[in-house]
Amino acid sequence: MLVIFIRTIVLYTLVLIVMRFMGKREIGQLQTFELVISIMIADLASIPMSDIGVPIFNGIVPISGLLVMHLLISFFNLKSIRFRQFVCGKPSILIYRGRIDEDALKRERFTINELQERLREKDVFNIGDVEYAILETSGIIDIILKPEKRSPILEDMGISAKYEGIVYDLVIDGVVQFENLKKLNKDYKWLKKQVVKFGFLPEDALVVTIDGGNNIFCQEKKKKKCQKR
């Protein structure tokens, strides 16, 4: 049992490292070659993990080989458009200028019902509202609604919005995020001065954040919510 336990930890760590090298895509956004590699890695890891009669290197070596293949394919994808199209394919336009492209549906083996289902997943319930529907190489469908069906934005109403930027974490669970302080050209002394206004030190904060308008939010670890400055 101890041997199986150790083999499981080793193979799990290896698979975790390999998947980390493969990037941060969601499962639904994997390219075909990435999905194939993921399935093969899971299969190769499961056999030596559960069968102690199979040498652990019978899993480590092919999994490492798949990682090398993934890195090579990713490299050539970046360097060559033709190679990228060969491996990943090209996006297909299923709806063009409000009309369904029947030939594209047949090529992609898509039925009208499947297309409608995908549109409903995007909160589009009337196929007549769609100007363009593009089937991406990852299998996801992106849509562009007809102008009169789109939600209005501030630009449509002639309103200019104030720049907001992004929110930076300054303290998480009592740990000061010095990297973010550096990005903001701030230091611990400045952070302490801001947090002390709320009645405690940065190390006692559950969370401290700052937004693009220099508004600070903080909350003490003991669930005592501070007021925004």
DSSP assignments along 104-147, one per residue: HHHHTT--HHHHHHHHHHTT---GGGEEEEEE-TTSPEEEEE-G
Q: Among 116, 115, 145, 111, which Cα is nearest to 130's? A: 145
Comparing C-alpha atoms, which of 135, 82, 137 is closest to residue 106?
Answer: 135
- Do both 15 and 77 map to the same domain? yes
Statement: residue 31 has pLDDT above 80:
no
Which long-range contacts (C-beta less than 8 Å, at least 24 apart) are formed by 92-98? 92/134, 92/135, 93/132, 93/133, 93/134, 93/135, 94/133, 94/134, 94/135, 94/141, 95/127, 95/130, 95/131, 95/132, 95/133, 95/143, 96/132, 97/131, 97/132, 98/128, 98/130, 98/131, 98/146
Residue span of the structural domain in which 19 resides: 2-86
CATH number at residue 173: 3.30.240.20
Cα-to-chain-centroid distance, residue 87 = 21
Q: Determine the pLDDT at residue 132.
A: 95
Share of the chain above pLDDT 70, in %: 93
Do 19 and 76 share a structural domain? yes
Q: Is residue 158 part of a domain?
A: no
In angstroms, rounded to a whole number, what is the distance separating the alpha carbons of residues 128 and 158? 28
Torsion of CA 141, 147, 151, 152, to 10 degrees: 140
Assess whether pLDDT exceeds 80 at residue 21. no
Residues 144 and 206 occupy one common structural domain: no
In this structure, is residue 229 part of a structural domain? Answer: no
The model's confidence at residue 59, banded by pLDDT at 50, 70 and 90, is confident
- Domain co-membership, 31 together with 63: yes
Predicted pLDDT of residue 207: 93
Q: Identify whether 63 is part of a domain.
A: yes
Give domain status of residue 81, yes or no: yes
Place of tokens 């670890």: 221
Residue 61 placed within a domain? yes
Which residues 6+ apart lie within 8 Å of 55 measured at CB? 48
Task: Check pLDDT > 70 for residue 227.
Answer: no
**One domain for residues 19 and 71:** yes
**pLDDT at position 43:** 84
Q: What is the pLDDT of residues 150-183, one digit of tens each?
A: 888 887 788 887 777 789 999 999 999 999 999 9
Within this chain, do residues 99 and 116 fall inside the same structural domain, yes or no?
yes
Query: How many structural domains does the chain have?
Result: 3
> Does residue 193 surpass a pLDDT of 60?
yes
Residue 225 lies in a domain: no
- Rounded Cα distance, 211 and 171, in Å: 13
